[in-house]
Structure 1
């Protein structure tokens, strides 16, 4: 029986306004037994003897089953959407390149959901069994629990019902959301809060929380938006917003002064083009161009 252990830590980004310093969680990889380094990732492979004993133990466990990579991806997505911290899936199919395929599944899921992507702190998985039939056990750490995620969703609905009125076009909705965030959230100069939940319950967060809250509110208001990862005097997150088919940059963090000034809203980083934002923001990961 073969046991594969994968441990991967995703970027948890704390972004600081103007002159603030950078804190970045880097990737860490942990493994036991025989270590193999491949493309910057650390894998551990432990081959155990006494196959019949392990087979008997393995066959007593019952998990959700997937018979294709598509089914496996859907099962993983369902568990991530429910913010499950620990779950197992039995996979019955070709396992020759399983670790590369699982990484591809995770990358695909997170590329489709920026909110999920930037609320996953780290994930790891172990798979064991036999060629063509393995059980994969996942562990995931999030910046928000399922209860906190549900609170954000509910609270965003309440806020939008108060600030969005009938007859507003997308530009007016975006401005109302931008103004609400800037007026009701302040930058966390202690760099300890990084979620939309903290922004709503504690009134403070860093750029990760600003961009997540903007992402949630804009999408709920029917405005297409994405999260951009880049460098702005340190690693930084902000949003892309699509208005009338054109993408613009929106940085609520940098429109919120530090120290906080009650009642003040800046529009310096409101709906900028790629050229305009590039003066002090360098895009590292951007799903679209803003012309």
Structure 2
């Protein structure tokens, strides 16, 4: 008799939209949900889109990442492969501060396609983590202090935007390029790193900021939504920094744009399409 819950394979998975120059992914446009007038908590906006079993796994994995768990552990609620992917994307989209974790992971699935166990991976060794956290926190504190010289959120946001772009160049070879740490501490990153760094610093400066995934110019991509003076805007540091580096002139072509302006070369993923509209 076949045991349908037996573990048959261990699969490595990378969360979606890892590199902005990865293979293109065809996504249909999905109507974007309208946000409430109040700010949505950036640390749980994606979590709130999940089902209860998905949220349970989200919380479990979050705690495992905080404790640097390297084991293959049983999930509190078994999930389908698609539901696990959504859960992991939601977790990493909500929490740029967990910079030491890779967005890739492995899992064990049964004959019915249900995942029972997961194994996380890390980009920074546990022995180096304390020093990396100290460096990470110092850089963020310095950027927040620089932004605090301005009296309004728009000027603070522009300062953070300029600072992160000036600190970086686009580089797919950086082994930590999926993390905010790469853009803040190593001098190079890809779209995921730019967007997570911007999300992290804006939040510390008191500016609501969200991580967005999708496609742009036919490639997988990541960018941000910010809330400034009660309104939501799209921001894409990666493309503006690439334009700046190519032309020698500071670009704000993708700074604080509405959805219509972004729709010409940006399309949100199904998960990110459930975030607030930028009108």
TM-score bracket for this pair, using the shorter chain length: 0.5 to 0.7
Number of the residue aligned with 2:276 = 288
Give the drift of 1:79.
0.9
The structure-2 alpha-carbon separation of the partners of 1:206 and 1:111, relative to structure 1 and needing over 3 Å to count, comes to closer
Alpha-carbon contact 2:223-2:235 (below 8 Å) kept? yes
Alpha-carbon contact 2:161-2:198 (below 8 Å) kept? yes
Structure 1 counterpart of 2:234, from 244, 249, 264: 249
Aligned-pair Cα RMSD in Å? 3.6
Larger fraction in helix: 2
Number of the residue aligned with 2:162 = 179
The structure-2 alpha-carbon separation of the partners of 1:203 and 1:263, relative to structure 1 and needing over 3 Å to count, comes to farther
Number of the residue aligned with 2:19 = 14
Alpha-carbon contact 2:10-2:108 (below 8 Å) kept? yes
Number of the residue aligned with 2:187 = 203
The structure-2 alpha-carbon separation of the partners of 1:257 and 1:289, relative to structure 1 and needing over 3 Å to count, comes to same
Give the drift of 1:182.
1.7
| Correspondence 1:124 to 2:112 | no
| Distance of 2:211 and 2:19 partners within structure 1 | 14
Q: 1:204-243 maps to which residues of 2 (within 5 A)?
A: 204-233=188-217, 234-243=219-228
Give the drift of 1:218.
0.8
| Distance of 2:89 and 2:246 partners within structure 1 | 39
Aligned to 1:7, the other structure's residue is in SS state: strand
Instruction: Give per-residue Cα distances to partners, 1:65-115, cap 9 Å, x unaligned.
Output: xxx967665333211234433253585xxx7xx234973754654464366
Instruction: Give per-residue Cα distances to partners, 1:40-74, cap 9 Å, x unaligned.
Output: xxxxxxxxxxxxxxxxxxxxxxxxxxxx9676653
| Distance of 2:260 and 2:96 partners within structure 1 | 24
Q: Stretches of 4+ moved more than 6 A in 1?
A: none
Normalising by structure 1, we get a TM-score of 0.64
| Distance of 2:105 and 2:139 partners within structure 1 | 28
| Distance of 2:150 and 2:243 partners within structure 1 | 34
Alpha-carbon contact 1:196-1:209 (below 8 Å) kept? yes
Larger fraction in strand: 1
Number of the residue aligned with 2:37 = none
Alpha-carbon contact 1:111-1:117 (below 8 Å) kept? no
The structure-2 alpha-carbon separation of the partners of 1:277 and 1:117, relative to structure 1 and needing over 3 Å to count, comes to farther
| Distance of 1:240 and 1:222 partners within structure 2 | 14
Structure 2 counterpart of 1:113, from 53, 74, 95: 95
The structure-2 alpha-carbon separation of the partners of 1:112 and 1:264, relative to structure 1 and needing over 3 Å to count, comes to same
Q: 1:70-89 maps to which residues of 2 (within 5 A)?
A: 73-86=58-71, 88=73
Unaligned 5+ segments in structure 2 are: 26-51, 111-115
Structure 2 counterpart of 1:3, from 1, 6, 24: 6
The structure-2 alpha-carbon separation of the partners of 1:218 and 1:155, relative to structure 1 and needing over 3 Å to count, comes to same
Give the drift of 1:173.
1.1
Aligned to 2:242, the other structure's residue is in SS state: coil
Give the drift of 1:262.
10
